[in-house]
Amino acid sequence: MQNQAQASERLSPFLTLSREEWSRLRDSTPLLLSEGDLAQLHGLNERVSLEEVEEVYLPLSRLLNLYVAATQSLYEATHAFLGHQSRKVPYIIGIAGSVAVGKSTTARIIQALLSRWPNHPTVDLVTTDGFLYPNAELERRGLMQRKGFPESYDTRRLIRFLADIKSGKPRVEAPVYSHIEYDIVRGERIVVEQPDILILEGLNVLQTRTSSSGRPMTIFVSDFFDFSIYVDAPEDLIRGWYVDRFLKLRETAFRDPKSYFRRYADLSDEEAVATALRIWEEINAKNLRENIAPTKSRADLILGKGAQHRVQEVHLRKI
Residues facing residue 198 across a β-bridge: 92, 124
Instruction: Provide the pairing of β-strand 301-305 with 227-232.
Output: parallel
Give the separation between CA 25 and CA 23, rounded to whole angstroms.
5
Q: Answer yes or no: is 89 a known binding residue.
A: no
Residue 283: name the closest of 246, 257, 308, 312 by CA: 246
Separation between Cα atoms, residue 62 and residue 269, nearest integer Å: 43
d(CA 13, CA 314): 13
304 has binding-site annotation = no
The annotation status of 98 as a binding-site residue, yes or no, is yes
Q: Is 306 marked as binding a ligand?
A: no
Angle, vertex CA 297, rays to CA 7 and CA 196, nearest 5: 125
The one-letter code for the residue type at 98 is S
Sign of the alpha-carbon dihedral angle for 313, 314, 315, 319: negative
On whether the CB atoms of residues 232 and 305 are closer than 8 A, the answer is yes
Q: Is 23 annotated as a binding residue?
A: no
Q: Please check if 104 is assigned to a binding site.
A: yes
Name which of 108, 88, 69 is nearest 192 in CA terms: 88
Phi, psi of 168 (to 5 degrees): 85, 20
| Residue type at position 207 | Q
Residue 101 known to bind ligand = yes
Nearest to 38 by CA among 62, 54, 22, 20: 54
* CB distance 295 to 1 below 8 Å: no
| Known binding positions for ATP | 97-104
Q: Which residues are annotated as a binding site?
A: 97-104
